Amino acid sequence: MPSATKSLTARQGVCILGATGTIGVNTLDVISRHPEKYEVIALTAYHSVDKLYEQCVDYKPLYAVMVDERAAQQLSDRLKEAGVSTQVLSGAESLEQVTALDEVHQVMAAIVGAAGLLPALAAARSGKRILLANKEALVMSGDLFLKEVKQNNAELLPIDSEHNAIFQCMPEHYAKGLQSAGVNKILLTASGGPFRQRDIDTLHAVTPEEAVAHPNWVMGQKISVDSATMMNKGLEVIEACWLFNCDARMVQVVIHPQSVIHSMVSYSDGSVLAQMGNPDMRTPIAHAMAWPERMKSGVEPLDIFEVAKLEFEKPDFDRFPCLQLAFESLQTGGTATSILNAANEIAVEAFLTKKLSFTNISRVIEKTLESTAVAVANNIQTVLQADTEARQQATEWVNQLGFSRAQVVWTF
């Protein structure tokens, strides 16, 4: 984790992995408010040519990466026509290349899913300040990733609103051990998603359109579905255990529908510290970019009179079986969390493309965990192999548990 002795005294070069997604767009918004402090060095995307083109015209990065080669050529041609000198690179390996540039000081790791693991590792090996929005780097390879951070004198700051909140509520020397620092428990908040109060017997009929309609946050489709199943919270439990060097018994998930308290830390003296604010990702982004200082994010201050009340509930594992599967995978250890993540990615994609029912997301994950061997996660090759095998298994389970075209009936 970072050292508070480092301060941002010069203009910082920023690389944004996943620039066209919600986190990437919000990061650029924060940067635009502080042009004297930050310079965009590299922007990356998979195949969103139009959006990345607009960003390159606006921010004029030195480099742009499109993972898809055809998209890269389209982007290059359009930028040349516009007279923009940004150099366009292609392929997944270019993601790792731009994170290691000497001009880059901070890397926003915001690529969704397992695809973000290797670029985040490259940033750690290059000793950068890593603004970690990608959960999978820690979910899949927590021990390996943190060793790279430490060995290369990199800095790791969490961007997830919950983990960023926990970080803000932690004592200065928490890395020496939570219990010795007086920490009793981490209270990880969750909105409960759009189906917190829906009749549990109707969840099988949930449509993708309903699942991505989060009541509080503006997010991408995959993470919105993860929020609806609470797998997102399960992944965050795993991530919290790695970030704050604790086991699952130290983490309590708390459903908080208003999404105003982003997480809390309970202390042995009876104190509970909470970080509060409007549900806007620019707050944790600005906090991590400027840390240990503070800067404006563009987010309006929280009006506690408008909020009026705060509610809290315990999660129901019958309603949210994915959350329980995450806790069980964490307890199993090794590559189990990689298997969990891979199966979830396959199942969510099948649901979003209307090949699988909402309630069968958890069933695909459970069956994949049962049918895929768990190994010790002592090297990146083992982790990636587990990811590959789990995706194959999950795809087979989707084929068994999913809809045939004739069976699909969606109500709009």
Tokens of 196: 């917190």
C-alpha 109, offset from chain centre:
8
Residue 288 domain flag: no
193 touches 227 (CB < 8 A): yes
CATH number at residue 135: 3.40.50.720
Residue 297 domain flag: no
DSSP-derived secondary structure letter, 187: E
Q: Are 196 and 137 members of one domain?
A: no
Residue 17 domain flag: yes
Q: Are 169 and 313 members of one domain?
A: yes
Q: Are 118 and 179 members of one domain?
A: no
Q: Are 83 and 193 members of one domain?
A: no
Q: Are 45 and 144 members of one domain?
A: yes
Residue 94 domain flag: yes
Q: Are 141 and 69 members of one domain?
A: yes
Q: Are 20 and 126 members of one domain?
A: yes
Taking the model in full, what pTM does it have?
0.91
Per-residue pLDDT of the chain (412 residues; tens, 9 = 90+): 565 444 445 789 999 999 999 999 999 999 999 999 999 999 999 999 999 999 999 999 999 999 999 999 999 999 999 999 999 999 999 999 999 999 999 999 999 888 899 999 999 999 999 999 988 889 999 999 999 999 999 999 999 999 999 999 999 889 889 999 999 999 999 999 999 999 999 999 999 999 998 777 667 899 899 999 999 999 999 999 999 999 999 999 999 999 999 999 999 999 999 999 999 999 999 999 999 999 999 999 999 999 999 999 999 999 999 999 999 999 999 999 999 999 999 999 999 999 999 999 999 999 999 999 999 999 999 999 999 999 999 999 999 998 743 344 444 3
Q: Are 95 and 234 members of one domain?
A: no
If one counts every other C-beta atom within 10 angstroms of the C-beta of residue 208, the result is 18
Given 130, 158, 186, which residue is the final one in a domain?
A: 158
C-alpha 185, offset from chain centre:
22
Measuring CA to CA, which residue among 270, 265, 260, 225 is closest to residue 243? 265
Using the Cα atoms of residue 235, residue 237, residue 243 and residue 248 in order, give the sign of their dihedral: negative
87-90 and 183-190 beta bridge pairing: unpaired
Residue 189 domain flag: yes
Label residue 323 left, alpha or beta by phi (over 0 means left) and psi (-120 to 50 means alpha): alpha
CATH number at residue 358: 1.10.1740.10
138 touches 160 (CB < 8 A): no
Q: Are 139 and 219 members of one domain?
A: no
Residue 410 domain flag: no
44 touches 19 (CB < 8 A): yes
Q: Are 106 and 221 members of one domain?
A: no
The set of residues, in sequence order, having a beta carbon less than 8 Å from that of 76 and lying 6+ positions away, is: 88
What domain count does the chain have?
3
Residue 1 domain flag: no
Phi, psi of 404 (to 5 degrees): -85, 160
**What is the identity of the amino acid at 110?**
A
What is the residue range of 30's domain? 12-158
What count of residues does the chain have?
Answer: 412
The set of residues, in sequence order, having a beta carbon less than 8 Å from that of 295 and lying 6+ positions away, is: 33, 34, 37, 286, 289
Helix (H, G, I), strand (E, B) or coil at 185: strand
Q: Are 258 and 238 members of one domain?
A: yes
Tokens of 360: 């069968």
191 touches 259 (CB < 8 A): yes
**What is the identity of the amino acid at 132?**
L
Q: Are 152 and 178 members of one domain?
A: no
Measuring CA to CA, which residue among 210, 219, 229 is closest to residue 161? 219
